[in-house]
């Protein structure tokens, strides 16, 4: 019987700089994509996604004129693959 490994994301910290807001918005976009893919059965495992927190981060970033980068999801997936290889 196989066990699915669930990883929790680190405790949230509010972004302070514009660069941190961009990173947060990009990570939130990637995490939401992961959560959607999991709900559709396309992937299993990975971190638990706090959908409300991700949505709030993206909304707050947009209020400051920052939107997730076009390649945010691809970079999130690459980071997840790199982390799982460690």
26 vs 78: CA distance, rounded Å: 13
CB 64 within 8 A of CB 21: yes
Phi, psi of 51 (to 5 degrees): -60, -45
Structural domain boundaries enclosing 76: 17-85
Please give the tally of structural domains in the chain: 1
pLDDT digits (tens, 9 = 90+) for 19-70: 999 999 999 999 999 999 999 999 988 888 999 999 999 999 999 999 999 9
6 vs 77: CA distance, rounded Å: 16
8 located within any domain: no
Closest by CA to 79, choosing from 36, 35, 46, is: 46
70 located within any domain: yes
Q: Model's pTM, two decimal places?
A: 0.80
1 located within any domain: no
């Amino acid at each position: 019987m196989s066990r699915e490994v669930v990883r929790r994301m680190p405790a949230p910290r509010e972004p302070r700089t514009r660069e941190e807001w961009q990173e947060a918005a990009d990570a939130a976009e990637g995490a939401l994509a992961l959560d959607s893919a999991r709900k559709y059965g396309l992937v299993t495992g990975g971190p638990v996604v706090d959908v409300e927190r991700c949505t709030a981060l993206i909304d707050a970033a947009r209020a400051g004129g920052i939107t997730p980068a076009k390649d945010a999801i691809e970079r999130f997936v690459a980071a997840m693959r790199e982390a799982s290889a460690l």
